[in-house]
């Protein structure tokens, strides 16, 4: 069995199409088909079945895919560790984070780290809460910012970096736009613009509304903070967003109002795989992040 066969197999399994897999691998379609055929002959099983124009994994193919992904991830980590051993300042950090942190937080911390370690490379992966956990467990990322921070998990561990307040956002001409603070129940008759199902901010907002004694009337859904903010600014409803998602300038902006009762917050944490040593360069970044957010918290309490 050759390593190339595993690469080709995983790519075909992901694309469910030999031609598309070959295009991404920059090899001939016949070469991919031949390697998959040889792999099946060596294993003595069928890994794929034809379904229309696509290929679908057989049950044994699904089992083999899980093992193949682990093998390739372990090999990639081994290569990275060798490079880092030779020169830690030229390593690569595989970092995951949710979309809502990509506006300002991730650029800020990465820029601050690269001032001290300019040659370190980053490979970023955005995703929702379940996909970040899954990618971490599968070994596709080394560290991940996540919100909310998981209370308990068998395969990941980490630290809470900060707790962030969520603000109500309303159109500029809204009756509550000029208020310093409001109680959440004052929005009970409003139409809400919320994140789609699967995004971690949605249950936080829905849970806060339930605590305030009502279920939110959902008029619109979005998948980006820019979309939520823009729809509210355009008068399509109201919402709640984290403070860092509101650091934005432009001609069309909603009004932000503090929510005093109940106070709505989210935790942001940093996770890694349990019982596994971080690659050297990721360990340096991990230590940097802990100091960075400790200093940030100290500055906040001084004000």
125 pLDDT higher than 90: yes
104 pLDDT higher than 80: yes
122 pLDDT higher than 80: yes
What are the extents of the domains in the chain?
3-74, 87-160+268-302, 163-266
What's the whole-model pTM score?
Answer: 0.69
DSSP string, the chain: --HHHHHHHHHHHHHT-HHHHHHHHTS-HHHHHHHHHHHHHHHTS--EEEETTEEEE-HHHHHHHHHHHHHHHHHHHHHHHHHHHH-GGG-EEEEEE-GGGTTTHHHHHHHHHHHH-TT-EEEEEE--HHHHHHHHHTTS-SEEEESSPPS--SSEEEEEEEEEEEEEEE-TTSTTTT-SEEEGGGGTTSEEEEEPTT-THHHHHHHHHHHTT---EEEEEESSHHHHHHHHHTTS-BEEEEGGGG---SSS--EEEEEEES--EEEEEEEEETT-PPPHHHHHHHHHHHHHHHHHHHHHHH-
User: What integer is the mean pLDDT of 201-207?
Assistant: 94
pLDDT digits (tens, 9 = 90+) for 230-246: 999 999 999 999 988 88
pLDDT value at position 54?
85
145 pLDDT higher than 80: yes
User: What integer is the mean pLDDT of 16-27?
Assistant: 87
Q: Do domains 3-74 and 163-266 have the same CATH topology?
A: no
87-160+268-302 in CATH: which number?
Answer: 3.40.190.10
3-74 in CATH: which number?
Answer: 1.10.10.10
67 pLDDT higher than 70: yes
The pLDDT > 90 percentage for the chain reads 52
pLDDT-wise least confident of 9-23, 158-172, 192-206: 9-23
259 pLDDT higher than 90: yes
CATH for 163-266, options being 3.40.50.300, 3.30.70.920, 3.40.190.290, 3.10.105.10: 3.40.190.290
pLDDT digits (tens, 9 = 90+) for 149-181: 987 778 999 999 999 999 999 999 999 999 999
């Amino acid at each position: 069995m050759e390593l190339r066969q595993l690469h080709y197999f995983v790519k075909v399994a992901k694309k469910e199409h030999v031609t598309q897999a070959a295009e991404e691998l920059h090899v001939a379609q016949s070469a991919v088909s031949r390697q998959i055929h040889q792999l099946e002959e060596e294993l003595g099983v069928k890994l794929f079945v034809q379904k229309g124009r696509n290929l679908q994994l057989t049950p044994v193919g699904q089992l083999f895919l899980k093992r193949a992904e682990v093998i390739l991830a372990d090999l990639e980590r081994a290569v990275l560790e060798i490079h880092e051993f030779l020169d830690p300042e030229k390593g690569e950090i595989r970092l995951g984070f949710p979309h809502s942190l990509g506006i300002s937080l991730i650029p800020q911390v990465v820029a601050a780290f690269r001032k001290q370690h300019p040659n370190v490379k980053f490979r970023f992966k955005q995703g929702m809460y379940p996909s970040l956990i899954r990618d971490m467990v599968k070994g596709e990322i080394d560290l991940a910012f996540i919100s909310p921070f998981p209370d308990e998990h068998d395969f990941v561990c980490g630290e809470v970096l900060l707790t962030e307040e969520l603000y109500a956002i309303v159109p500029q001409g809204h009756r509550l736009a000029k208020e310093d603070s409001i109680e959440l129940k004052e929005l009970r008759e409003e139409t809400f613009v919320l994140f789609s199902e699967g995004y971690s901010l949605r249950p936080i907002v829905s849970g806060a509304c339930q605590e305030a004694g009502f279920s939110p009337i959902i008029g619109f859904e979005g998948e980006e903070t820019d979309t939520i903010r823009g729809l509210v600014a355009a008068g399509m409803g109201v919402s709640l967003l984290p403070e860092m998602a509101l650091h934005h300038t432009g001609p069309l902006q909603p009004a932000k109002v503090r929510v005093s009762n109940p106070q709505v917050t989210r935790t942001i944490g940093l996770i890694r795989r349990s019982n596994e040593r971080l690659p050297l360069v990721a360990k340096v970044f991990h230590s940097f992040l802990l100091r960075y957010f400790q200093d940030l918290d100290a500055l906040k309490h001084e004000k």
